[in-house]
Amino acid sequence: MSLKLFATCTPGLEEVLEQEVAALGYSPKQGRGGVEVMVASLKDVMIMNLHLRTASRVLLHLFDIDLPNKQSIYHAICERDWRPFFRDLPTMAIDVPFSSHPEFTNSLYVAQLAKDAMCDQLRKATGERPSVDTKAPQVQFSIIVDEEKASVSFDTSLEPLGKRGYRTESVEAPLKESLAAALLMLAGYTPEVILLDPCCGGGTFLIEAGLIATNTAPGLLRKTFGFLRHPDFQDEEWQQVRQQAFAAVRGFPHGKIFGFEKDPKSYRLLLRSIARAGLMGEIEVFHTDFRDGKLPAVPNFIITNPPFGVRLGEAKRWEPLYRSLGTLMKRGTQKPAVGAVLTGSTPLAKEIGLKPKKKIPVSHGGLDCTFCIYDLF
C-alpha cells in the first residue's frame, strides 16, 4: 500500500516542515502551504501526527476530480462508497482550505456541494445520513479546488496539530504552538542553550522549547486525531507508536529555559500550562517585569513576541519596551548569542537598535508580522 499525504503548515514555513518530515525518515516535496510525502501505511500517518511540531494538519489524499465543475464534483463524490468512514454515524464536516476556481470563489459553496453528495450516497446506501458539525466534527474531509483539479482528502488530524492539549484557557494574543515551534527551529534552538523569553505571556516558546529539549512528541497529550476513525485504523498499532514515543522522552539536558511575565492572569495560566505539559521542573518563570527581575543565568538565546499595539498610534507606548529588549540582547547575553523577535510593527523593531541577520515574514493571528533574527557577538 502506498499513501499520498499532504502535511499543511502556515504559509512561509514550508521549509522547516520539510526538514522535520525528512528528519522522521521520509522524502517530502515542498508545495504551497505544506509538503507532500508518500508513505507506506497508516502507521506512518500516526507517526507524523504524533511527532510533527510545525504541521497544522496531515491530509490523506483519496482521489482527484479532473476539470472540476458542479456536476463532476457531485458525481465523483456520489460514486464513492463512504460507508467505511461512517460506521457509527459520526458527525462530519468538509473543510475547503483553498479554492482558486472561477466557479467556486465561495468555498462554502464547494463544502455544501461535497457534503450533499456524500450524504446522498450514504442515505441511498444505508437509509441514514450523518449530521454536520462544522465546529467539532468527528470526521472531516478536505477539498482543495483549482481549475485543473479538485483534490479530495481525509483529514487525519481533525483538530489542528498546534492544539497540543497543554493550553486549555486562552491568554491574550497567544502564539500558535506549531508556529512557536517553527520559529524556535528557524532561530536555531538547540537544547544546550540558555533560553530566555522576557515577555513570555502564555509561555508557548518556553513550553515548545521544553518539549524539544526533552524529546517529547508534541502530540502525546492529545486525545483526538482524525485517523482514529479511518477504516484501517488498528488500536494496537497506535498504542505501539505512542509507547515508542513515551520511551524516547529523555531528561532535560544541560541547557536552561526561563521567562518573565508581568501580567498576573497570564502568569497564572502560564504556570498551569507548564504543569500540564509536564515541564514544571524544567522551566523557570518569574512574575515580574523583566527589567526589574534578576536573571537566574546569563542567556545566550533570547526569543520573544512582545506586544506591538495593533491599533493605530498604540505602538508608541511600547517603544521603551523594545529599547529595553535591545539593551538586554546587547548587554545581558553571553556571547556568541542569538536574539529573535516576532513583531507586527517595523518601527518598533527598529527601536531594538540592532540589525537583524534575517527577517522572515510570518502570518500570526491574521496579522502580517516579521520574525527578526539577530546574531549577537
Residues in contact with ligand SAM by the rule CB under 6 A: 171, 173-175, 198-199, 201-202, 204-205, 260-263, 266, 289-291, 305-307, 321
Amino acid at 227: F
- Least CB distance from residue 376 to ligand SAM, whole Å? 20
* Spatial separation of the C-alpha atoms in residues 11 and 367, rounded to whole Å: 13
Minimal distance, residue 13 CB to ligand SAM, in Å: 16
55 versus 274: smaller Cβ distance to ligand SAM: 274
Residue 51 CB, shortest distance to ligand SAM, in Å, is 21
Q: Rounded to whole angstroms, how far apart are CA atoms 114 and 87?
A: 19
- Residue closer to ligand SAM by CB (options 140, 204) is 204
Q: What residue number has its CB nearest to ligand SAM?
A: 201
Which run of H or of E encompasses 360?
strand 358-364
- Of 10 and 305, the one with the shorter C-beta distance to ligand SAM is 305
In the complex, minimum distance from the CB of residue 80 to ligand SAM, in angstroms, rounded to a whole number: 41
CB 93 within 8 A of CB 35: no
Q: How many CB atoms lie within 10 A of CB 250?
A: 11
CA pair distance 188, 258, nearest whole angstrom? 17
**DSSP string for residues in 289-324:** -TTTSPPSS--SEEEE-----SSTT-GGGGHHHHHH
Nearer to ligand SAM, 46 or 207 (CB): 207
Q: Which is nearer to ligand SAM, 7 or 209 (CB)?
A: 209
Report in angstroms how near the CB of residue 274 gets to ligand SAM at its nearest: 12
What is the phi/psi pair of residue 188, to 5°? 85, 35
